[in-house]
Amino acid sequence: MLAILTPKPFRGDVIAAGVVVLVTLVWTLFARFGDTWPTGAHLAYCAVACVFVGVLALRAPMEGEAPRAYQSVLYVATIALWTLVAAVLLTLVEDDDANSFYAVTGAAVAVPAFAFAIRRNSAACTLIGSLALQIAVLLAVGALWSPGVETVRWVLLAETVVLGFAAIGQRDRHLRHGVALIDAAGLAVVAIGMTYVYPWFFGFGDDLHGANWGWELVLVAAGFGLIAYSSVDRQPGPAYIGVFTLILFTIITSVDIDGPTLLGWPLALALAAVFLLVVGLRPTTPAPPPPDIDAPEPPPLPWR
């Protein structure tokens, strides 16, 4: 039986495609019949599908240091099915607090994600686990008390700092995982910006208000830092998130101001741009010749 459930690498893409269809089917059944079928029925087909795909993911042979694309699909599919299993199990526990429910679900999702990240060297699972844990922490804070929007921003900033230091620690040893952690940190900064642009998403009304200069500095510094990280390590993901962060910064710093003015961020950005361009375009002095330029060439090595 285990031999049948061991994916052959040359058929990995076909198996991954079938698994994606299976996950889509399971999620469709759960969404369509969530209030119609009993909880036991949902738990049965979700658990069977999760175990089946999980066995395929664990039995897929590693052919190198990093998993192949089809293996990453199997890992992510297992996590997606486990999310439904955890959600169904948690419905059996009577708790009317939505924040508690989703916080525990997020923590449950992070467990297999980090397991695949560690055991199978999956950077995609590192990103998923980091995001799930971020959401779990944020919702756990909301479950303990009713925080204001400013508290949510400080929690997101703390998560950004922790993930940033974790990414630095992984940069030299496991670059792909470091990039995944930087992406997760960048998305936390994006969430900070979204609390200003779309505060209704976090349940804090629907009015668009400008930020104070401290949070604006966080956004612009993070945006530039993400783009710089992407340039140094030649990884596109952080650059995309950095550009989106700077778009949010532009929107936030252009609303709720006392009329159009060049004072403030326009002047600061202009000075920074001029300084960097002057430093980069300044004339260069030719380097002096090496001290041994006039030395005779060494004799050729004798034939052996």
| Both tokens assigned to 134 | 């971020």
Integer Cα distance of 100 and 11 in angstroms: 41
Q: First vs last Cα of the chain: how many Å apart?
A: 61
82 pLDDT band, cuts 50/70/90, is very high
CB 214 within 8 A of CB 161: no
| Both tokens assigned to 223 | 């945006």
User: Which DSSP helix (H) or strand (E) runs through 165?
Assistant: helix 149-171
- Per-chain mean pLDDT for the chain: 88
92 pLDDT band, cuts 50/70/90, is confident
Percentage of residues of the chain with pLDDT beyond 70: 90
CB 13 within 8 A of CB 66: no
Which pTM was predicted? 0.84
- Burial of residue 237 (CB within 10 Å: 0-12, 13-18, 19+) is middle
146 pLDDT band, cuts 50/70/90, is confident
User: Which DSSP helix (H) or strand (E) runs through 243?
Assistant: helix 236-252
| Both tokens assigned to 188 | 């936390």
Integer Cα distance of 36 and 10 in angstroms: 41
Q: Which residue has tokens 């397991």?
A: 115
Residue of 274 and 3 predicted with greater confidence: 274
State which amino acid sits at residue 175. Answer: L
Mean predicted confidence (pLDDT) in 216-242: 93
Q: How far, rounded to the nearest angstrom, does the alpha carbon of residue 251 sit from its chain's CA centroid?
A: 23
Give me the numbers of helices (H) and strands (E) for the chain, helices first please: 10, 0
Q: How far, rounded to the nearest angstrom, does the alpha carbon of residue 73 sit from its chain's CA centroid?
A: 17
216 pLDDT band, cuts 50/70/90, is very high
pLDDT at 37: 93
Q: pLDDT of 157-207, one tens digit each?
A: 999 999 999 998 888 888 899 999 999 999 999 999 998 887 666 666 555
| 3-class DSSP string for 184-214 | HHHHHHHHHHHHHHCHHHHCCCCCCCCCCHH
Integer Cα distance of 147 and 99 in angstroms: 12
User: Which DSSP helix (H) or strand (E) runs through 253?
Assistant: none
CB 98 within 8 A of CB 138: no
CB 218 within 8 A of CB 154: no
- Burial of residue 183 (CB within 10 Å: 0-12, 13-18, 19+) is buried
Integer Cα distance of 138 and 132 in angstroms: 10
State which amino acid sits at residue 45. Answer: Y
